[in-house]
Structure 1
């Protein structure tokens, strides 16, 4: 009887050894890290929010504008009659209302080609631009695509009364090109004010040292504040739209290439050069000596001025 119990114990032990050997000999698709330590878990990356681009009216009847203070970047584009129009870029938290919203221009297609499928809010476009807009990287979100996102404000004359509720637009996805940020290089000239002229618009900038921003005025009207102001001299050509309602040619600002610029940051004025080799590239700025000219943290205004 004792022998039978002993035989059962030995059999159980042997069975356990066989199971352990079988498990140890199983093939594995994972390599053990050096030192036998467990690998660190993969970081969970936040979903990219992408960009919202909004074309904004920029004449006297459009004042006061809404939502500009929340924009990361604002481009000032030359349009017909020597006037200007804004293209505001939002990559963070969206304001409740933006506007007045106006039409797309041919300049927008090349200017925003480096963005990964940005949502593009605009009031409409000339028929000549329909094919160009559809074949671009822009996710078109005008009133015809997203009618519930737009409304007409009382007390303003058309076409200066169309406003946008950004929260009602398609979800933003993808990535956006980032400005080169960092400490200012040596040099630069301390200035309290500066200005630039378009044929029918004058922009003046005043440094506010306590706020660390530039105050931006258009034709004497306070418009916005920005940590960086860039005056980018660009070639301008006549585009697909030969005439508009004002019976004048519609200019197209060329933003691929290189040229002269001025960068205002930290209360200083830096003569600069800009360069953008391809439409998918971000624009880079350097000093006259070729040193990188990064921007300060905070909002950026870029004025595309015909050279």
Structure 2
């Protein structure tokens, strides 16, 4: 039977689907010991620990990775806990990959940090691994108290082996960064509202359009989503359990990109339309985030919370069309 493909701009989503679900929480401490119970779940994936603790002596790392043909192949993404995609200049996109539970020895290519990263890194106390950035961005990130790990660190270096062009030839060894971090043992708070996701419709094919130059396509099978037009290294692909698409406000970053190209900043604070895919199902709703320090939550059209299934998550941050220089993003699914 022929399926009907539904195209929608998130600005016009009719929020009629019912979300809800059940939250997951760690068990309370037992006995009379004053020591807190070990966390029951990894903070970025909500996956059970099966004993032990999620505390580490290294921070969460966010690696900035380009997402265009010059970035092929991208390394290390299969080890990421969570990945987001943001719009940058020229209608292209860039990835921010969160690493915490597993630190690979080769991640990249590594590119520059953006102002958008502040709202993603701040809630977790994450360190951003980057090749550098514009002066206005570096100052703003520093003012937000977010540590940058740049090419001044020996574990973020350029390797001219012919695999990538010069600007895309920087790689990071997160494993060694973690070994040398030597910070007090700690676990960040959960980034997403963990629980049992309930979707009302079926969606096994997803197309997310950021601009005329960038569209990301996904297919669902076997409990995972696969990016069908990406640049990940063979056998090293990030295959999320959940895809969250949100509409965000964009504004001028305050500096020009290559050849003076307009550089948008995506704002991950406040609220906006959302559509969430998990287990081949879909639900429409609204995202909420209280400032750059807040963690996101989601509600359906009736105001009920939407929970995110344990597993890996990919966040698509598409423009809502408020910026006259940035067209509105759209989603197509079937």
TM-score relative to the length of structure 1: 0.80
Q: Where does the alignment leave 5 or more consecutive residues of structure 1 unmatched?
A: 1-37
CA distance in 1 between counterparts of 2:146 and 2:32 reads 41
Aligned partner of residue 74 in structure 1, secondary structure: strand
The equivalent of 1:5 in structure 2 is none
Q: How does 1:41-60 map to 2 (within 5 A)?
A: 42=35, 46=53, 47-48=55-56, 49-60=58-69
1:181 aligns with 2:194: yes
CA distance in 2 between counterparts of 1:265 and 1:157 reads 36
The structure having more radius of gyration, on CA atoms, is 1
Q: Is the 8 A contact 2:87 2:264 kept in 1?
A: yes
The equivalent of 1:214 in structure 2 is 225
The equivalent of 1:261 in structure 2 is 274
Q: Is the 8 A contact 1:115 1:137 kept in 2?
A: no
The equivalent of 2:307 in structure 1 is 294
When the two structures are aligned, how many residues end up with a matched partner? 264
CA distance in 1 between counterparts of 2:32 and 2:247 reads 52
1:191 aligns with 2:226: no
- Residue 113 (structure 2) aligned to one of 104, 109, 119: 104
1:136 offset after TM fit, Å?
2.0
Q: Deviations over 1:46-86 (max 9, x none)?
A: 54443011101111011111011111110101000110000
Larger relative contact order (C-alpha < 8 A, sep ≥ 6)?
2
Q: Where does the alignment leave 5 or more consecutive residues of structure 2 unmatched?
A: 1-30, 39-52, 321-334
C-alpha distance 80-180 of structure 1, shift in aligned 2 (>3 A):
same
Greater fraction of residues in helix: 1
Q: How does 1:1-307 map to 2 (within 5 A)?
A: 39-40=32-33, 42=35, 46=53, 47-48=55-56, 49-116=58-125, 118-144=126-152, 146-155=153-162, 156-169=164-177, 170-171=180-181, 173=183, 174=186, 175-185=188-198, 187-199=199-211, 200-208=213-221, 210=222, 212-218=223-229, 224-241=238-255, 243-307=256-320
Q: Is the 8 A contact 1:106 1:252 kept in 2?
A: yes
Q: Is the 8 A contact 2:205 2:219 kept in 1?
A: yes
Q: Is the 8 A contact 1:276 1:283 kept in 2?
A: yes
Q: Is the 8 A contact 1:51 1:176 kept in 2?
A: no
Q: Is the 8 A contact 2:241 2:311 kept in 1?
A: yes
Aligned partner of residue 273 in structure 1, secondary structure: strand
